[in-house]
Structure 1
């Protein structure tokens, strides 16, 4: 769906198909994970692919925003650059530490996704940009949480819901390592 959204924005005008397509993409992202978990077919590779699909979707929405609403990009330039820098920092730390991109799927990421939904529908559906502030704030909060989680965890993990869950997992992993050291 993401490339179709971008295709719709290439003429620098948005049809209501953009909003419909975007909402379908978000709903499919929500429900594909639920369905995969219920069918017990959710794997690490599937969760990583889900993260890549999310990145693809939001890059296409960002490029569409640049094409259709360049003034909004200019008006939000500094906060958007901060959000991008936070995400790049997260990806860089994860790549350096684990040689993999993060794929935590935290509660803050889910809330951030909902604020992106509101901001995108607000902008493309109603020409209203102020809800972008919430999406940027949640991006920063999520990035900081996931940077902390990446630094905290001794090994790469996916589907860790919060920094509190990461801390508990760290304690468990460290305890297991200590037991292995005593045995080995």
Structure 2
């Protein structure tokens, strides 16, 4: 049981490059399989944290590894989308670029303030992950962006704003912060209860 979280994280870390290799090898003929693998990747992300908390092995190191694996995985899925349908990505190149810049800036600001990358696992970020799944299913499965892309961009923007506020409000580096409001509570020393389905309780 204690090994399950790290196995799921490593599975997701390896899955991204495998998806890219398959896309280069088979192209559009493997769209359905890529969608299945992407869903498996998301499920591994959901259950690694749950398994870690159930087994009592959740730690800052494991949560940081989980966050960085998420970044690698979704970048790989994005690259598969680009290989299959670059025109869909190019149609939204400006908002996508803004989201990429905001993602990079969260790292810059967090490292500048705390000496390490952000690891909030905020609720809005989790919601953004679901919209990423929707848009990549739309692109990879159906060569479509549309409302799914607009929704993903919107939640990408507001989730990064949330992370920026969390970083600015936290007095010291902390992982598993549900929102900027909870960061404010931490700053004021006000206790609150975390939902153990999503975050480690204290």
TM-score between the two structures when normalised by the length of structure 1: 0.90
The 5 A counterparts of 1:35-184 are 35-130=51-146, 131-172=148-189
Deviation by residue 1:35-69 (Cα, 9 ceiling, x = unmatched): 11111111110000000110010110121122111
Deviation by residue 1:113-164 (Cα, 9 ceiling, x = unmatched): 1101111111111222110111111111111111111111111110000111
Select the residue among 22, 27, 34 that pairs with 1:8: 22
Q: Secondary structure at the match of 1:10?
A: helix
Superposed CA RMSD in Å reads: 1.3
Matched residue pairs, number?
173
In structure 2, what is the Cα distance between the partners aligned to 1:49 and 1:75? 33
Out of 65-74 and 161-170, give the one that drifted further: 65-74
User: Greater Rg, structure 1 or structure 2?
Assistant: 1
- The answer as to whether partners of 1:14 and 1:68 remain within 8 angstroms in 2 is no
- The answer as to whether partners of 1:122 and 1:128 remain within 8 angstroms in 2 is yes
Structure 1 runs of 4+ with >2 Å offset: 11-14
Unmatched runs of 5 consecutive residues or more in structure 2:
1-14, 191-202
- The answer as to whether partners of 1:19 and 1:121 remain within 8 angstroms in 2 is yes
- The answer as to whether partners of 1:104 and 1:157 remain within 8 angstroms in 2 is yes
- The answer as to whether partners of 1:146 and 1:163 remain within 8 angstroms in 2 is yes
